[in-house]
Structure 1
Amino acid sequence: MRIPLGLRVHAGTSALLVVLTAVACLLVSGLPRMMQASFDEALRRALTTAAAVQTDLTVTGEPAAPNGDLHQRARFEDHDAQWRRLLPAALRSLIRPGGHMSAKTVRTPAAATISGAVTYINLGWLSDADRRVDWVEGREPGGPSTMVHDGATIPVVEVGVVDEAVRRMGLRIGQTRMLGSTTLTAVRIVGVFRAKDPGDRAWSHDADVPHVTWVRLPTGVEEFHTTTLMSDDGLAALTSGAHNLTYRWVLPLDGRAATALGVPDVEAAIAEFERQLAVRGTSVISHRLVTGLPKLLGDFLTALAAARTVMYLVLGGLLAVALGVIALGVRLLTDRMEHTLALARARGGSLWQVTVAGGALTALAVGPAALAGYGLSFLVPGPVPPIVHLGPVVVVVTAVSFAVVRLVLAHRTPLNERRDDVATARPSARRVTMEVMVVVLAPAGAYLLRARGLSGSAREDPFLLLIPIALTLAAALITLRCYPYPLRLLVRLAARGRAAVPFLGLTRAARARSASALPVLILLPALSVSVFAAVISDGIATTQRLASWQKVGAPIKLTSAADIPAETIERVRGTPGVERVALALTGRVRIGDTGEWPYAVAVDLAEWRRVAGDGPLDLPALSGSTSALLSPGLGARGTFEIMWLSPAKLTTQGMIDTLPGFYFSGQFLLVPREVLPWPAANTLLIKGDVAPAELARLVPAATVETQERALAAIQADPLAGTVRSTLLVVTVALGVYALVAIVLSLVVGAPERARAVSLLRTLGLSERQARRLTVLELLPLVLVTALAGLALGLGLPAALGPGVDMSSYAGGLPVGDYTPGLLTPAALAAGLTLCALAGAYAHTAIGRRRNLGAVLRVGDLT
């Protein structure tokens, strides 16, 4: 058999197979690249938006003896070069050149106080101070000197102070302050500086330098902390014996160079670098690594595991359905070659020759198409995970193997005639046993998955992938085995009527078991996975909206550090677009019996409910003017007294885990506004359509949050966007594949169906009756499979349970509401039904062009 001639003869079927293969390879190779690119983008965004103190690697050294002190910049630079040489390869590629070094003292007390407050003036040196600060008064510090104090010679260090310390701590140029408790050091203030760029990420490592820290201790004592800056020469005056001294070398991380696939290697490299630092420590100085990078990477991997789990599930379903549709196309091609190969077999061709000819024809159709789809996938930007290369290979191997197996079974003996529509072979005991095992083990596996939980992502826990496949296969087997039985009851009812069309149509549908196995195995997973994807997507969207409401607590929330004047509140009420305003006061209160200082919220709950309107918030209720709801951190207390604006006695009414818009953990309590001695408010909960900028203009010192902005921020997460967009693409693709499967099942059975309809037409069957006959033959399979697929898709989220934790994409809230709307199931069922009807009518219309006399001349009636 000449293969090119076979392609020309079966050009239409080969072209269909080419399109199906190319699209399948494009999807299975392109979607993983798109997802991996989004994973990388999510990681880079997480690393670049986090504070530098969390992402950078900071090596700290604490000298314990004088010979461990570093007094020259050159020695700091030598250590910096040493740390960079110790970096493992996975970390070295992520560390940018530059960074900075520092030496600081901590909790260095000053001799005098400010209005009874304790003052701490720490000494600090930054290697890049000339790049990060501007000297606004005085001059830059110079080298140290000495002075005599109480008969002893002590060092005098020239320092500069931040301008905020001048205002809040009374420090001035020209002052000399004595530092220390036992060993004294004098500092002379010679300049005042200000940060050049207060928003520079590097300041997160040295937040104590550009700002004064104020602390109120539980005893009521106030503390002021500031860190001064000295010159390189001032390092000579910093000794570990006189101060609590710490050295730091900051190795800045380049988050833009990170990749999701390299996260495990980076985690291992951090652990190795930490071990190397511990080994380098000595008795005179100890070194350790300080970084929040492992936690950031751990949080990212948690979110990534959920994304990969859903991606593996839906992509695995997509690949299975695509392979099934390609198998239908291969079946159509082998059916078209049936007579040619049977003739070659009858004329002495060996089974090997016939099989090779059919397999080569299939390979010639799917091979170049797979390469084309694989090549087009590289137009999708993103890294290349192994599945990009593996997917097309699986498609080609499956298509050719299916063709070879089908040809071997069909042509084992020459002229192997059979009638599948008349008698159906009884399944063997081995096949029945296997099917029963699948049906029994699939629900048992789902139960075990829910009981034991998930031990990682889908890649780490293959059990999660096997369960959906087993459930789908079990549902398909049950559908395939059971759907003829209700049809036979309908056949008996139709046999009692006088109309022949219902009886003939339902009879043909009930006898089509052998021919319908492959369409069922395609339609059911296509529908179930597409419904599963739609349900997951709807659940994420619903929970994202709930999370945004939980975060803000109202359509608009205006929060001020100080009380908002009554006239300002009235101006807000009168702003065009503002419909309702609920007043709330937040602050810390003192519990009289225990001395605890929890946070408290006093709010008008009735007005808050009216502000929330039809939002998804479940607001608490208070039954009395002295009732209180306490967080679990406070526990039940009965009656207790608080000191806020005035003393008040409260009675515990119950417990609340969170308070939407205010607090989600820790110690807090909710009280009615009647507790307040006067109507103070520092928070406004607003309902209406008003620009946040207008509210910010009315209350300049306030922060304005909106539920819409909170929702947009949650949805803007790259991983969340990728999950939802991938689910949408897969849903559409599976819907299209389901329709293609219906069309192909029509085409595969078209010759036999057309012959039967033509013969019935010669016996008086009208065109209208022929259309009804075709519809009755197709609709039962489509409807039963659609219902089974919809039911399985709706049940998969609940069955998988702990394997589909999508809280990372829903503002931290667990996605538990997997109740879909009626639109998606109705649209899928209606689409399949309409496609079946359209195919039936098209098939009947094509059949009208057949010459009925030619049917009689074939001799089928003799």
Structure 2
Amino acid sequence: MNRIPAPWIRTRLRTAPAAAAALALLVALTACLAGAFPRAVDRYEDAGLRHAVERARPLNTSMTVYAQQPDALLSQQQREDALRPAALDVRYGKVLAALRRPFVADRAQSTYGVRTANPQKAPDPFLPQPYGLPAQIELTAQEGLAAHATVKAGRLPRADGRVTATTPEVEAAVSAETAKSLHIKVGSVIHVPGSGRAPLAVRVTGIITPRDPDGAYWATHELLHTPNLIPVPNTDFFYWLGALLLAPDAAPALLGTAGDPQRYWQLAPDVPALRSHELDDLKSAVASMETGPDTRRLRAATDPSTNVTTYLDDVLDSYGALRGRVRPLVAVAAFGTGTVAAVVLLMAAGLAADRRAAELTLLRARGASLRGLAARLFAETTVVTVPAWAVGLTLALLAVPTDRAAYAATAATAVALVACAALPVRAMAVHRRVRVHAARADVSTVRPSRRRTVAELTLVVVALGAVESLRRTGTSGGQLSSLAPVLIATAAALLLIRLYPLPLRALARPAARMRGTVTHLSLARAGRTSASAVLPLLALLTALTTAAFGGSVLAGVHAARDHAAYLAVGADARVETPTPLPADLPDRVRRVPGVRALSAVSLSYESKPGDGEQTVPVAGVNPQDYAELAARTGLGPFGAGELAKRPATEPQPALASPAVAARYGTRSFPVRLEDGSTITVRVAAVVDRTPAVIGADFLVVNRAILDTRAARPSALLLTGSGIQASTLRKAAGSSAQIQLRSEERAEYGDSPLQSGAERVYAAAVAAGAGYAVLALLLSLLRAAPERRALLARLRTMGLTRAQGRRLLILESLPQAALAAAGGALTGWATIRLLSPGVDLTTIALATHETAGGQAVLRTDALSLVLPAAAILLVTVGVAGAQAWWTGRQGAVAELRAGDAR
């Protein structure tokens, strides 16, 4: 290949600086988005993993390495020395060195020490003894007490002299909660039974409060700061269990008790160091430390009896399952947006190739080789693309800071390669044969080849396979399932481009008989659209399908959270008290800003229908208010007349849950309420849910049939928007329990994995829509020179400006209408086809246990209609603007340009 002279490239770039700048801007923007996407995914996945570990609490995430008390074959001094801080610290360093990345210990929250594995009964009379059972005490000598506690009274314990197994008395501290519950004061002496010796006296020298009670130092073993009431098995008795915190140097004294002292090294994970992409390695490291090769290393570093216990692997498995169900949903948006962006890059290359078609044809006619021509074009494009790629990648790295840059660089580089190769490949395909005049290439004359037909049929088969795979296996079926919406859109675009000329030809015949030529001419020209229109149509359909699918995903998520929140609260807000509400409370609550409607309910949770063996909650309601509430929330809607009061001699109607209705049928049966009164009811209607009762079993009756005492409301179900929790609590009083649907709903999306996936999904859909508009503009820009020349020639024949504007709009509308209608139809079909295999429960509700059922993909009208309408508006606007601008420029320049061509 001949060396490409730089002056030629520089000259060609100078002739079209606007086109070069536009390409650079497009590449920079696309490379920035491509590089930012994997980093944004890494960012919210990392945040999700840290949130999962933090939410699981240190009790489940810390790793405890523990060893039995020193071997009895050792001398007493050796056994005592093994419990001293110096020996434990040496082994602590070896334990840290034995840890395998990516598990990293948080040294500020990790610690070590000695504790009694078997709590001992303390017979001291000042300790509380419920049911006559003495309190039990655990002795713990944990390193770092001074750094993690604040002395509330007294001082921290010390070990005076050299403590041994026979030391008669040691000092200890207790937490403020332990001191309060076990009646311990500074100076109290607690006697712990000894083993082969007199009881060990433990003098309390200080009462402390943890500086960070939720930190791993304290929360891994919560008994250190919070005593517990422990039930005696198979009885209704309880006893107190608390912990005494000894000085680390006093640990050898535990050998003189029957508590079976154990050495332990408590390792808290460094949460900020956790990375989602290292999840598999982290799970492997944890498993290896529990029961694997690293266990042998830990035993060699500490003691042959060493074991490791942690529940961190369960937390990681739970997070991994959640991430695995969220990723395919985000991949759908990524594939859709990536496809549209690639099509736009190809369209930009096609526009450049068309602009230089005459130049490239002349070069080929004068002997330029195809390889040399492609090399020159590649060099031209590279000069523009590489700096734009660097700028875009740098912006992505700066805008979304994360640890990994390889995936971002790979994605941005792929954009640069497509941008560099698109123009040379297009030129090689078009100009592989030397010719002077290009043949007409529109959808009316170009017939698809057999190869194209086979390729299109293959694509349709692959799309059908992807749809079937997703319907059968869900979004866990691999990348093919995530590609299903894109494949459906591609197949639809190929089908529509084949069918596109048929209706236009049918309309052109009657239009030819109409008075005037504008309509007939516009339809005739629309029917001769370039055969390369498949690219913009593919971009538009893919963007519309992705937008429809994304809108439906977000709509399904929001609907699932709304429904789950309604199930948990029963209304927009709920005020409930264990006793009847004050008489003036409904009026006070009704005046709270945001409250539009109120339904008062009297609740009897321990009512006993029929034989009285089982209890069923009974809600007394005002039928009219309650029917409106049920219809508004969608929780068991019914007609108000179904609860109309009957004569006293007849059984009263009631709404029942399916289980209650199946139990009592349609016969009348008595119901004994909590206040002792009895009503006789008959099931008039069956509903699955009801707003007043949070549960599956219930009866709902007219409050007018209850006696005065039972009819007093104990709950208020409120409807409204913008209700402030603080204002409502102030109006309801401190004794009332307040629930807001908005607060309940917010808890369902509190995981960064959920909220991050939603934001990335929405951003991907928005980017796809932007690229779709850009594809539409490129398509219109591609036809702009020909349209300008056409208008100029027709103006010389008497075409008015209004007729020229109508001509361009009518010519552009068929393809835009095809894309809009086809996109909306394809989006609707995609949702209907894929909804059985798409479960949104994970991204909507995560690990929350609700009775709301499965969150399903549902059609969102706005995501179908708005993008399609936007395409039509942009097309009409651009065509009208082009006609107006051409009319202002005059016809002389275009006619001369046309003659030159």
**Bin of the TM-score, shorter chain as denominator length:** 0.7 to 0.9
The residue that corresponds to 2:447 in the other structure is 426
Moved more, 743-752 or 481-490: 743-752
For 1:60-71, list aligned pairs within 5 A. 60-62=66-68, 66=72, 71=83
**What is the TM-score with the length of structure 1 in the denominator?**
0.83
- Identical residues among aligned pairs (%): 23
Q: Partners in 1 of 2:621 and 2:754 — Cα distance?
A: 33
Tell me if the contact between 1:592 and 1:643 (Cα under 8 Å) persists in the aligned partners. no
Range 22-31 or range 160-169, more displaced: 160-169
**Aligned equivalent of 1:118, options 129, 133, 158:** 133
Question: Which residue does the alignment assign to 2:762?
Answer: 728
1:404-436 residue CA offsets vs partner (Å, 9 max, x unmatched): 222123322132531224962322222212212
Instruction: Give yes or no for contact 1:557–1:705 (8 Å, CA) kept in 2.
Output: yes
1:760-810 Cα offsets, whole Å, 9 max, x none, are 444443333332222222211111112222222334344444765433342
TM-score norm. by structure 2 comes to 0.80
Residue among 4, 17, 24 paired with 2:23: 17
Question: Which residue of the partner structure matches residue 77 of structure 1?
Answer: 89
Deviations 1:110-164 (A, max 9, x none): 568835253441222141444555666777667799xxxxxxx997776666665
Structure 2 distance, partners of 1:636, 1:175, is 61
Q: Determine helix, strand or coil for the equivalent of 1:705.
A: strand
What is the distance in 1 between the residues matched to 2:146 and 2:93?
21
Amino acid at match of 1:206: H
Query: Per-residue deviation at 1:451?
Result: 0.9
- Structure-to-structure mapping, 1:468-479, within 5 angstroms: 468-479=485-496
Instruction: Tell me how far apart the structure 1 counterparts of residues 257 and 514 of structure 2 sit (CA, whole Å).
Output: 108
Q: Secondary structure at the match of 2:378?
A: helix
Q: 1:332 aligns with which of 335, 351, 363?
A: 351
| Equivalent position of 1:387 in the other structure | 407
Q: Deviations over 1:160-206 (max 9, x none)?
A: 66665666566676566676999995666646735344744343223
Paired position in structure 2 for 1:58: 64
Deviates more, 1:163-172 or 1:42-51: 163-172
Answer yes or no: is the 8 Å Cα contact 1:158–1:190 preserved in 2.
yes
Report the counterpart of residue 840 of structure 1 in structure 2: 879
Which residue identity lines up with residue 381 of structure 2 in the other structure? Answer: T
User: Contact 1:325 / 1:737 at 8 angstroms: preserved in 2?
Assistant: yes
Partners of 2:835 and 2:198 in 1: CA distance: 64
1:226 to 238, 241, 250: 241
Task: Report the equivalent of 1:195.
Answer: 209
Residue 583 of structure 1: how far off its partner (Å): 5.5
Residue range with higher mean Cα deviation, 380-389 or 322-331: 380-389
**Structure 1 residues 162 and 307, CA, compared in 2 at 3 Å: closer, same or farther?**
closer
> Which residue is 1:574 aligned to?
588
Match of 1:692 in 2: 725
Using the TM superposition, give the Cα deviation of residue 223 of structure 1 relative to its aligned residue in structure 2, in angstroms: 0.5
| CA contact 1:468–1:796 (8 Å) conserved in 2 | yes
- Give the whole-Å Cα distance in 2 for the aligned partners of 1:358 and 1:166: 83
Please give the alpha-carbon distance, in whole angstroms, between the structure 2 residues aligned to 1:156 and 1:591: 63
Letter in structure 2 aligned against 1:844: A
Displacement of 1:210 in angstroms is 3.0
Residue among 88, 101, 123 paired with 1:89:
101
Using the TM superposition, give the Cα deviation of residue 678 of structure 1 relative to its aligned residue in structure 2, in angstroms: 6.5
Between the aligned partners of 1:539 and 1:209, the Cα distance in structure 2 is 46
RMSD: 4.8
Deviations 1:645-667 (A, max 9, x none): 98999999999999989868xxx
Corresponding letter in the other structure for 2:242: T
Shift of 1:488: 1.8
Instruction: Tell me how far apart the structure 1 counterparts of residues 714 and 107 of structure 2 sit (CA, whole Å).
Output: 44
Deviation, 1:484, is 1.4
Instruction: Name which of 406, 414, 421 aligns with 2:435.
Output: 414
- Partner of residue 389, structure 2: 370
CA distance in 2, matches of 1:177, 1:544: 55
Aligned to 1:405: 425
How far apart are 1:267 and its partner, in Å?
Answer: 1.4
Matched, 1:526 2:532: no
Q: Which position in structure 1 is the counterpart of 2:473?
A: 452
Q: String of CA shifts for 1:585-643, please: whole Å, max 9, x gaps.
A: 69899999999xx99755446689479566535259999899985999xx989999999
Find the counterpart in structure 2 of residue 785 from structure 1: 819
Q: What's the counterpart of residue 739 of structure 2?
A: 705
Matched residues in 2 for 1:448 and 1:34: separation?
28
Offset, 1:487: 1.7
SS in 1 for 2:485: helix
- Aligned-pair CA distance for 1:704: 3.6
Cα deviation 1:12-67 (Å, max 9, x = unaligned): 32232222222211211123323322332333334344422223222244559746
* CA positional deviation for 1:229: 0.5
Partner of residue 204 from structure 1, selected from 219, 223, 227: 219
Q: Paired residue for 1:358, among 372, 377, 395? A: 377
**1:148 is matched with which residue?**
none
The change in CA–CA distance for 1:756 and 1:250 in structure 2 (over 3 A counts) is same
Q: Deviations over 1:697-722 (max 9, x none)?
A: 66546654322223344455433333
The equivalent residue for 2:271 is 255
1:526 aligned partner, one-letter code: A
Q: How far does the alpha carbon of each residue in 1:390-412 deviate from its partner, in whole angstroms, 9 at most, with x for none? A: 22322232233221222123322
Partner of 2:32: 26
User: Equivalents in 2 of 1:169, 1:307: separation in Å?
Assistant: 48
Q: Which residue of 1 aligns with 2:647?
A: none
8 Å CA contact retained: 2:809, 2:876:
yes
Farther-moved stretch of structure 1 (715-724 vs 308-317): 715-724
Contact 1:636 1:652 (C-alpha < 8 Å) held by counterparts: no
792-801 or 136-145, larger mean C-alpha shift: 136-145
Matched, 1:754 2:760: no
| Partner AA of 1:837 in structure 2 | V
SS at match of 2:102: helix
Match of 2:891 in 1: 851
Cα shift at 1:247? 4.7
| Kept after mapping to 1: 8 A contact 2:138/2:244 | yes
Matched, 1:462 2:462: no
Give the 5 Å matches for 1:565-714. Answer: 567=582, 570-571=584-585, 574-575=588-589, 576-577=591-592, 580=598, 582=600, 603-604=619-620, 609=626, 616=633, 618-619=635-636, 670=698, 691-693=724-726, 696=729, 699-700=733-734, 704-714=738-748
CA distance in 2, matches of 1:543, 1:856: 64
Q: CA deviation at 1:257?
A: 2.0
Residue pair 1:550, 1:617 contacting (<8 A) in 2 also: no
Structure 2 contact 194–256 (Cα < 8 Å) conserved = no
1:648 and 1:240 map into 2 onto residues whose CA distance is 66
Q: What are the ranges of 5 or more consecutive residues in structure 1 without an aligned counterpart?
A: 146-152
Distance across 2 between alignment mates of 1:580 and 1:181: 68
2:441 matched to 1:441? no
CA distance in 1: counterparts of 2:569 and 2:195, whole angstroms: 48
- Give the letter for the 1:32 counterpart: P
Aligned residue for 1:749, secondary structure, equals: helix
What SS is found at the alignment partner of 2:633? coil
| 2:113 paired residue number | 101
* Equivalent residue letter for 1:77: D
> 2 CA distance for matches of 1:661 and 1:57?
45
Query: What is the CA–CA distance in structure 1 between the aligned matches of 2:331 and 2:38, rounded to whole Å?
Result: 10
Deviation at 1:355, TM superposition (A): 2.8
2:758 aligned with 1:744, yes or no?
no
Change (3 A) 1:365 1:200: closer
